[in-house]
Structures are given as structure tokens and as C-alpha cells.
């Protein structure tokens, strides 16, 4: 007697789902064969769903289709469940490769170090194998899990520094406090332009032209100030100057603003500002701030500005005790 075709509503729905998944899987397989590895993630998930549907409908699928291939329904269900779990692991691995390891998710150009990708890939497949042994075939995995855990601990200690840099690089890529081309200040010491960013270090070019490789772990543990302009942002530079106390503050303020605007070193909007801070060491102290849109041009524009001030205030220029300037840089958003 031949097995009967599905005749109840539930089995008809199962048959429809299997046919749809089978058609989609075959279509994706053909697409992968034509385009390469771009559709492997989708193919893995579709094949995993197809196997799950076959496993769920094993009561009628096995006698109808697979009875001549497998020795019993238990063998069929075990193989279907194992393949479903392994294809799911394959799909997860391919998804990580496409969106994380190759950097597309975080917009990172440099690929993840091969060591990290291999370790994660091995962990995914190991977990999948342990699940198959424990829940599909009912085998005890205590000894294997203990051995795997011990090996992972030993490997983790031996590669602690390297893995620390890698995970710090991942954290920086997720938060993205800066990008290549930005001027940054790391902590209170290193300041420069980001010229390269990898999963182990960030390379910055200092003001003197030298390059500095800063480990990702150092950056992750430090305060990062992004000094570069972006959409809607301007950089505010503040300087301190001490002038003749006999000069009226209103007059000094107007002369400072005029000198700043004549150099065209500062943005017109928002414009520069001058504040009188009173007397200090027998001099009238003023602080003036101005905005620029390119931090890399800070020194050149600062030079133009102070040359103009020296012309506007000759008594300051010829003062035997020059008022040492204390530049204070801060970033503001307008």
C-alpha cells in the first residue's frame, strides 16, 4: 500500500510551506552559482528552514518520500535536525563575515584580523556540534565541553593582548568617535590627524609630521576629543592677551575685533568675540575667541591673527615683558 498524500488542513499547509521553501532555496542556489558567494547567508537560512519544515512534517514526509533512503523515521529525523542546526550555524557564520568581518556594518575599510574571525567561526561550529550531540543524539557532552572550555581559557590567556586590541577596535568601530581624516586629541597628550585605523591601532600624524601608532586599548581607555569639523560643527579657538591698562576696554575690544576680522582667519558666522577679564599683574587681560572650520589650518590662521594684533597694538609687541599667550582650544556645536 502506497503512502497517502496529505489530506488534512495542517498537512496541506505543511506541504505548501515545504514547496515554497524548496522553490526559494533552489532559486537562491542558482543565484549563488551565478553571482558567487553573495547569497550564501540567505541560502543557508532558507535551507535551514526547509530542513526544519521537513523535520516538523516527518510523520507523513518520511513514508511518502524518504522511506526508501533511510532505515527508519528516527534516523531521518535525527539527520534532518542535525543538518538544520549545522546550516543555521553556517548561516550565522556567513552573516558575520558579510556584515562584521568585512567591515560593512560599521563602515570600516580594514578587514578584521583573521585570528579573531577563525576563533569566532570555530566557536560557532563547536556550539552547533555540542547542541547536536546533546539534544539530537542524546550523548553526554560534559567531558567535551570541559575540554573545550579549558582550551578556550588557555588560548585566551596566551592571546590576551592581541584579543584585547581587537575587541577594543570593535568597540571603537561601533561607537565611531572619529574617522580617518579627523583631528583628534587622545587624553591630554597625543594630538594629530587620523591617517589610518585598523583593528589593532590608530595611526595619527602629529603637528611635526611624525606618525604615531596608538593601540586601540589605549584609545578605548582614554578621553577622546574630536577637533575636526563636521556637518553643522565649528571649532572655537580661545586666546588670552594682556594690554596697556590705560586703554579703555571698549576701545581695546573694538581694535581686537577689527584685527581678527581683517585677517579673514576666522569665520564670519559665528563671529569672533572679546571679553574683558580685568587686571592681572599690572596688565588689562582680555580673552578673545573665534571659529574656524578646518582644525588642520589652525596654526596658519593663528599666525595671521597674531601678526595682525601685533600691528594693531605696537605697545604690546614692544613690551619687554611679553604677555605669554595661553591658547585654549575647545569644540562647540552650532
Entry pTM: 0.50
C-alpha 51/C-alpha 57 separation (Å) is 10
All structural domains of the chain with their residue ranges:
9-158, 177-226, 233-333
CATH class of domain segment(s) 177-226: mainly beta
Per-residue pLDDT of the chain (334 residues; tens, 9 = 90+): 455 566 678 888 888 888 898 898 888 888 888 776 667 888 888 888 888 888 888 888 888 888 888 888 888 889 999 999 999 999 888 888 877 776 544 455 555 666 667 778 888 888 898 888 888 888 777 776 777 677 666 656 655 566 677 777 777 777 778 888 888 888 877 888 888 887 778 888 887 778 888 888 888 888 888 877 554 567 788 888 888 888 888 988 999 888 888 888 888 888 888 999 888 888 889 998 888 887 777 888 888 888 888 888 876 554 444 443 444 444 444 4
- The architecture of the domain spanning 233-333 is 2-Layer Sandwich (3.30)
| Cβ neighbours for 56, distance < 8 A, ≥ 6 positions apart | 14
Angstrom distance (rounded) from CA 244 to CA 227: 33
State how far the Cα of 131 lies from the Cα of 123, in Å rounded to an integer: 12
Amino acid at each position: 500500500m502506497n503512502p497517502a498524500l496529505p489530506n488534512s488542513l495542517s498537512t496541506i499547509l505543511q506541504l505548501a510551506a515545504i514547496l515554497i521553501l524548496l522553490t526559494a532555496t533552489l532559486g537562491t542556489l542558482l543565484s549563488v552559482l551565478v553571482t558567487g558567494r553573495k547569497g550564501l547567508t540567505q541560502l543557508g537560512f532558507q535551507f535551514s528552514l526547509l530542513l526544519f519544515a521537513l523535520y516538523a512534517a516527518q510523520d507523513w514526509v518520511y513514508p511518502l518520500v524518504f522511506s526508501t533512503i533511510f532505515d527508519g523515521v528516527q534516523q531521518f529525523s535525527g539527520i534532518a535536525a542535525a543538518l538544520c542546526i549545522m546550516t543555521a550555524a553556517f548561516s550565522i557564520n556567513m552573516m558575520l563575515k558579510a556584515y562584521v568581518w568585512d567591515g560593512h556594518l560599521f563602515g570600516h575599510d580594514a578587514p578584521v584580523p583573521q585570528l579573531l574571525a577563525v576563533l569566532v567561526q570555530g566557536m560557532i561550529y563547536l556550539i552547533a556540534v555540542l547542541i547536536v550531540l546533546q539534544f539530537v543524539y542524546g550523548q553526554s557532552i560534559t567531558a567535551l565541553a570541559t575540554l573545550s572550555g579549558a582550551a578556550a581559557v588557555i588560548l585566551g590567556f596566551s592571546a590576551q593582548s592581541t584579543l584585547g586590541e581587537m575587541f577594543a577596535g570593535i568597540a571603537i568601530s561601533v561607537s565611531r568617535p572619529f574617522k580617518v581624516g579627523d583631528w583628534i586629541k587622545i587624553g591630554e597628550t597625543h594630538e594629530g590627524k587620523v591617517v589610518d585605523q585598523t583593528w589593532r591601532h590608530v595611526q595619527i600624524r602629529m603637528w611635526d609630521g611624525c606618525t604615531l601608532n596608538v593601540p586601540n586599548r589605549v584609545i578605548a581607555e582614554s578621553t577622546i576629543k574630536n577637533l575636526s569639523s563636521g556637518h553643522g560643527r565649528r571649532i572655537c579657538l580661545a586666546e588670552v592677551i594682556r594690554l596697556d591698562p590705560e586703554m579703555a576696554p571698549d576701545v581695546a575690544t573694538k581694535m581686537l575685533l577689527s584685527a581678527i576680522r581683517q585677517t579673514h582667519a576666522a569665520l564670519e558666522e559665528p563671529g569672533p568675540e572679546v571679553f574683558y577679564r580685568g587686571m592681572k599683574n599690572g596688565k588689562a587681560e582680555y580673552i578673545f575667541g573665534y571659529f574656524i572650520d578646518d582644525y588642520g589650518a589652525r596654526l596658519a590662521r593663528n599666525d595671521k591673527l597674531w601678526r595682525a594684533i601685533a600691528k594693531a597694538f605696537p605697545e604690546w609687541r614692544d613690551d619687554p615683558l611679553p604677555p605669554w599667550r595661553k591658547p585654549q582650544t575647545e569644540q562647540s556645536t552650532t
